[in-house]
Structure 1
Amino acid sequence: MNQQINSSTNDSNEAPTTLIEVARVAGVSPSTVSRILNGTAKVSEDKRQAVMDAIAKTNFAPNQMAQGLKKGKSMTIGIVVQDISSPFFDETLHGVDDALKGTGYASVIVSGHWNAAEEIERIRLLIARKVDGIILLSGRITDESVLKFSQHRPIVSTGRAIHTDKALGFKLDNEHGAWLAVRHLIELGHRRIAFITGPANNCDAAERLTGYTRALREADIPFDQKLVVEGDFHESSGMRAVNHLFESQQQFTAICAANDLSAYGARLSLYRKGIRVPEDISLVGFDDLPGSSYTTPPLTTVKQPLYEIGRVATKALLSIINGEHFDASIPPLELVVRETTKRMR
């Protein structure tokens, strides 16, 4: 049976180009064209180039879904994010999208809303839809659940330290990232440093709080619980945290927020109170979202390699699906100093 494809330039009334037509133009057999397309052919470079030239000449565009079904694959991967509207996940998804280009794979994106029960439901849905693998961007389900689901579909997850044949995790050193931020403020002479946390039951938030306390301890600065205000990683919680600090009459010269969105909210609250950043209060975030370069003033923050995480996670998942080895590594966290921090007078 001929393999049919759609030509990118053909009219809808024209018959699509076939693999046999490509083979005729290239002067090879249809099976050779097919094997070159799926990467299993051992042919000379001249023959391979002849097929590539024929593909270009005939505007041949292989039907990846048909190829996938023939191999027992759906040519789709599932992606579980926690908040589709968040710029944090948006930047990571850009990395996923770029890594999928030219692979023939498409993605199906669902949201877990930071709810373990919803994440489990979404993963089951993706498995039922026959995706070839799943990328889990952070989340609340346990490592045990991830390993259990990986028996049905390969899973690559961020925020976890797992490594099996069917499950791989990427975990950044959140504690060290927060330590970098607080240490920067300490080196600028700050001693009364407020900290806006993430949700109490979020492991990333807990690790960043540990980094904050470690930096204080190493500098012999007493920990003051009143300077720690719980947030939820959203802008509004940053505003509420700063309002709480002032309403409770806390004395502080700097704020470290557990993520950039909380820092944005904190900055707005300070602005509305007539407090200058960094002249009166220094401010540090965590993430280095694309918008952090364009705040007023540009935000000093800890850079997470969000795009690289998405790209590497995708390449790792495709390697697992194809039974290939992949040496996965992502850049470390780093402090990006901009204009919201200043040395104490």
Structure 2
Amino acid sequence: MNKPAPAGPSTLIDVAREAGVSPSTVSRILNGTARVSDDKRQAVLKAIARTNFAPNLMAQGLKKGRTHTIGIIVQDISSPFFDETLHGVDDGLKGTGYASVIVTGHWSALEEADRIRLLLARKVDGIVLLSGSLPDDELLHFATQRPIVVTGRALDAPNALGFTMDNEHGAWLAVRHLVELGHRRIAFVSGPPSHADASSRLRGYRRALEEADIPFDPKLVVEGNFRENSGVLAMNYLYDAGTTFTAVFAANDQSAYGARLALYRRGVHVPDDVSLVGFDDLPGSAFTTPPLTTVRQPLYDIGNTAITALLRLINGDRVPTRVPPVELVVRETTKRH
């Protein structure tokens, strides 16, 4: 039988007694600084629910000079890439007492700087920048005011951390897979050259070809924009130009989706006529027709790692950021040529 909730407002001590932990452990779980097992964290969260405990975040904020809000800057709120990453951020905030304010940078350094100023004016305790174009020197300037964690680049400075995935290696894995299947005419739907990850994936594409003694043919590379429409346009451009190829590596899954649609409309069968590989492993990629072979980025882990690193920075604790490496996920859009 459940214990009745206290008649008056419950206290942190009530929660600690109910959960069987110390009051300091409850406090550290609430402010996101505790390193405890999932079982202990769940026990505290259940005790909070049973006792109807409501921490006075305003009082805590005044005492520590904090607002218990985190600014999150994404580049495209409609992108499934950022949707999955935000899922990791959201789970990382559970039980910490922090809430997020999400704004959009639209892949523009000017807009990112404007959004950071907006978040700083709202007195957020820290900022996570998911990818983006803002130069490091500007980012470090803002970090003098609040802790910042950025994904998509390596950064290690006072009050700022950044980490990236090995995009070049991921692209190399994709193209090597196609080469091992006997393909030598491999088209590449690239990303915008202004994006560091797009440039890295182009280098991986070229390195895999070079290692296989396959000459690089610029006619097989079509610049895209990481959206579905660029995959469609790239395939139409290649076919209308009479360019021959037996496989396509798209710089991200969304471009691969568009490429698949264009191939379907032209009566080209995947993978019987053309093999197709993407990059990201978005949640929907396992459910395309046929299921997409792709390079998996740990999108959830990227978001979760970023928010965890930021909360630790806020509390003066710098720890190395580690996320799982990229890996090739072979499904049904590739076959031997």
SS of equivalent residue, structure 1 residue 156: strand
1:321 — aligned with what? 314
Q: How does 1:106-255 map to 2 (within 5 A)?
A: 106-255=99-248
Deviation string, structure 1 residues 293-332 (Cα, Å, up to 9, x no partner): 0000000000001000000111100000011232320111
Q: Aligned pair in 2 of structure 1 residues 274, 16: CA closer, same or farther (>3 Å)?
A: farther
Once residues 55 and 250 of structure 1 are traced to their aligned partners in structure 2, the CA distance between those partners, rounded to angstroms, is: 64
Q: How does 1:57-136 map to 2 (within 5 A)?
A: 58-136=51-129
Once residues 266 and 49 of structure 2 are traced to their aligned partners in structure 1, the CA distance between those partners, rounded to angstroms, is: 63
TM-score, normalisation: structure 2: 0.89
Q: Are the aligned partners of 2:277 and 2:333 in contact in 1 as well (CA < 8 Å)? A: yes
Q: Are the aligned partners of 2:12 and 2:26 in contact in 1 as well (CA < 8 Å)? A: no
1:5 — aligned with what? none
1:299 — aligned with what? 292
Once residues 228 and 188 of structure 1 are traced to their aligned partners in structure 2, the CA distance between those partners, rounded to angstroms, is: 20
Q: Aligned pair in 2 of structure 1 residues 55, 287: CA closer, same or farther (>3 Å)?
A: closer
Q: Aligned pair in 2 of structure 1 residues 26, 170: CA closer, same or farther (>3 Å)?
A: closer
1:38 — aligned with what? 27
Once residues 53 and 12 of structure 2 are traced to their aligned partners in structure 1, the CA distance between those partners, rounded to angstroms, is: 11
Among 309, 323, 332, the residue aligned to 1:330: 323
Q: Aligned pair in 2 of structure 1 residues 189, 66: CA closer, same or farther (>3 Å)?
A: same
Once residues 115 and 274 of structure 1 are traced to their aligned partners in structure 2, the CA distance between those partners, rounded to angstroms, is: 38
2:11 — aligned with what? 19
SS of equivalent residue, structure 1 residue 163: strand
SS of equivalent residue, structure 1 residue 109: strand
- Residue 20 (structure 1) shift: 9.1
Q: Are the aligned partners of 1:95 and 1:309 in contact in 2 as well (CA < 8 Å)? A: yes
Once residues 184 and 63 of structure 1 are traced to their aligned partners in structure 2, the CA distance between those partners, rounded to angstroms, is: 55
- Residue 67 (structure 1) shift: 1.9
SS of equivalent residue, structure 1 residue 38: helix
Q: Are the aligned partners of 1:165 and 1:320 in contact in 2 as well (CA < 8 Å)? A: no
- Residue 34 (structure 1) shift: 6.7
Once residues 314 and 260 of structure 2 are traced to their aligned partners in structure 1, the CA distance between those partners, rounded to angstroms, is: 44
Q: Are the aligned partners of 1:231 and 1:262 in contact in 2 as well (CA < 8 Å)? A: yes
TM-score, normalisation: structure 1: 0.87
Deviation string, structure 1 residues 279-299 (Cα, Å, up to 9, x no partner): 000000000000000000000
Q: Are the aligned partners of 1:301 and 1:336 in contact in 2 as well (CA < 8 Å)? A: yes
Once residues 89 and 37 of structure 1 are traced to their aligned partners in structure 2, the CA distance between those partners, rounded to angstroms, is: 32
Once residues 35 and 172 of structure 1 are traced to their aligned partners in structure 2, the CA distance between those partners, rounded to angstroms, is: 36
Identical pairs, percent: 65
- Residue 146 (structure 1) shift: 1.1
Q: Are the aligned partners of 2:12 and 2:23 in contact in 1 as well (CA < 8 Å)? A: no
Query: Which 4+ stretches in 1 moved above 6 angstroms?
Result: none
Once residues 182 and 35 of structure 1 are traced to their aligned partners in structure 2, the CA distance between those partners, rounded to angstroms, is: 52
Once residues 206 and 80 of structure 1 are traced to their aligned partners in structure 2, the CA distance between those partners, rounded to angstroms, is: 22
- Residue 72 (structure 1) shift: 1.1
Q: Give the count of matched residue pairs.
A: 319
Deviation string, structure 1 residues 139-160 (Cα, Å, up to 9, x no partner): 0111111111110110100011
- Residue 21 (structure 1) shift: 9.3
Q: Which amino acid aligns with 2:11?
A: L
- Residue 19 (structure 1) shift: 3.1
SS of equivalent residue, structure 1 residue 77: strand
Q: Which has the larger radius of gyration?
A: 1
